[in-house]
Amino acid sequence: MAAAARAATQALIGDPFMRDQQLELPNGSDSVIVAVTSASVLAGGRLAIGISHCESGLGLDLTRGLEIWTCVQWNEDSAACDRQSTIQSDPWLHIEAGMGVGRIESTGDICLSSFARELLERNLRPIVPKGRSLKLEVIFPKGIELGERTSNKAFGVVDGLAVIGTQAETNISASPNQLKEAIGELRETCRASEFDGFLTLVLGENGLDLSLNLGIPSYSLIKIGNWVGPLLVAAAEEGVEKLLVLGYHGKLVKLAGGIFHTHNHLADGRIEILMALAVVEGLPLSEIKGLRKSASLEEALLKLEAIDRPMAEKLWTSLAQAVEARSSSYLKRYGDWSMSIGAALFDRQRHLRWVGPNGKKILECWEVNLADH
């Protein structure tokens, strides 16, 4: 995106097209070369567009090959731009969400990480003429379609894909490098002086935020990707006594079905696992058939809650118990450890909703009152 925006801005000021854009990274000491497909001026020179493609490096990434359009034009209302300085990190650049780019549902603002914004500012500021203000619109032509295949809506991001970009080369949560880094962090945490035998594995940034809000000690938290199984074993090997796995129900349901690598390209079966649990819990056949038509676990939850809330709570509590049981069974395949594994699940609104019996005991040790959350 930053490369396409830079090429478009160069076209707007009349510079020749450069396919290979050298981008300075936010750390100020490194740079990366990113290829741009094309850039051109439109509308009589009042507008320019740059086009590039996302290259994550691994075929498992949903956004691999994603076409990115960036449209730039001068923002003639400089005074209005100055008035936005308390909102924008730098008033000379105004960034808008075009088609397929995710917005924060509660505010309507573009879902843009601080890294992505800093990357844009660092690479556009030097070529924007002094005294000019730039308006940048980002467009993902297939963003709406791809956004439906993510958990964005579960975390308040609608209308497309979020503009995250936490690093120049994507560190995919399904890659072996991600597992290696997570194991390294786990070992470092367990060998720290303040380690007390309790550890929490949180799936994703939302799980990390919720854990901190719950009052779980930060020194016992590790944010992980999709390699859940190997990290359970690594924790046991490091002498963890009690381990809590905390995450979004749409992820942890896979553990209840014995799937311990949770990337959606490798395994899914979420609705099928829920249906199997519903059979065990004795839900009416008509309701089980209704679950099969659900597009997501959240939709299934809302359907059941609308029909019979106690029945829904019973099913989701059994899901948390199943996560604990299957995780313990997984661990026993690789060794004879006494580590207790608890599970805690949160919903789309990031409310902690369902906790297994082991998870409840662990949270009580940290004096987390579930009734408050």
Q: Residues 153, 180: one domain?
A: no
Q: Is 105 exposed, middle or buried (0-12, 13-18, 19+ CB in 10 A)?
A: middle
Domain limits at 78? 2-161
Residue 293 lies in a domain: yes
Q: Residues 253, 115: one domain?
A: no
Rounded CA separation 230/164 (Å): 27
What are the pLDDT tens digits along the chain (373 aa)? 999 999 999 999 999 999 999 999 887 778 889 999 999 999 888 999 999 998 754 444 567 788 999 999 998 764 444 433 333 445 899 999 999 999 988 889 999 988 889 999 999 999 999 889 999 999 999 999 888 877 677 667 889 988 865 333 434 444 567 788 889 999 999 999 889 999 999 987 778 888 888 889 989 999 988 889 999 999 999 999 999 999 988 889 999 999 988 876 666 788 999 999 999 999 999 999 989 888 888 888 889 999 999 999 999 999 999 999 999 999 999 999 999 999 999 987 788 989 999 999 999 988 876 656 5
Is the pTM here over 0.85, yes or no?
A: no
Rounded CA separation 102/111 (Å): 5
Number of domains in the chain: 2
Q: Residue 170 has what pLDDT?
A: 39
Residue 287 lies in a domain: yes
H helices, E strands: number in the chain: 13, 16
Residues in the chain: 373
Q: Residues 61, 190: one domain?
A: no
Rounded CA separation 224/202 (Å): 6
Q: Residues 142, 198: one domain?
A: no
- Helix ranges (H only) for the chain are 2-12, 78-83, 114-124, 143-147, 176-190, 204-214, 228-237, 249-256, 270-280, 285-292, 297-307, 309-332, 357-365
Beta bridge partners of 73: 135
Q: Residue 84 has what pLDDT?
A: 37
Residue carrying the six token digits 């090429």: 7
Rounded CA separation 298/14 (Å): 50
Q: Residues 218, 346: one domain?
A: yes
**Under DSSP, is residue 301 helix (H, G, I), strand (E, B) or coil?**
helix
Residue 167 lies in a domain: no
Point out the domain boundary residue: 161, 195, 216: 161
Strands 93-97 vs 134-139: parallel, antiparallel or unpaired = parallel
Residue 168 lies in a domain: no
Residue 169 lies in a domain: no
Which has the closest alpha carbon to 370: 349, 350, 347, 344? 344
Residue 107 lies in a domain: yes
**CB-based contact 101:159 (threshold 8 Å):** yes
Which has the closest alpha carbon to 140: 56, 60, 74, 52? 52
Q: Residues 200, 325: one domain?
A: yes
Q: Residue 168 has what pLDDT?
A: 35
Residue 171 lies in a domain: no
Residue 299 lies in a domain: yes
Q: Residues 352, 246: one domain?
A: yes
Rounded CA separation 123/18 (Å): 14
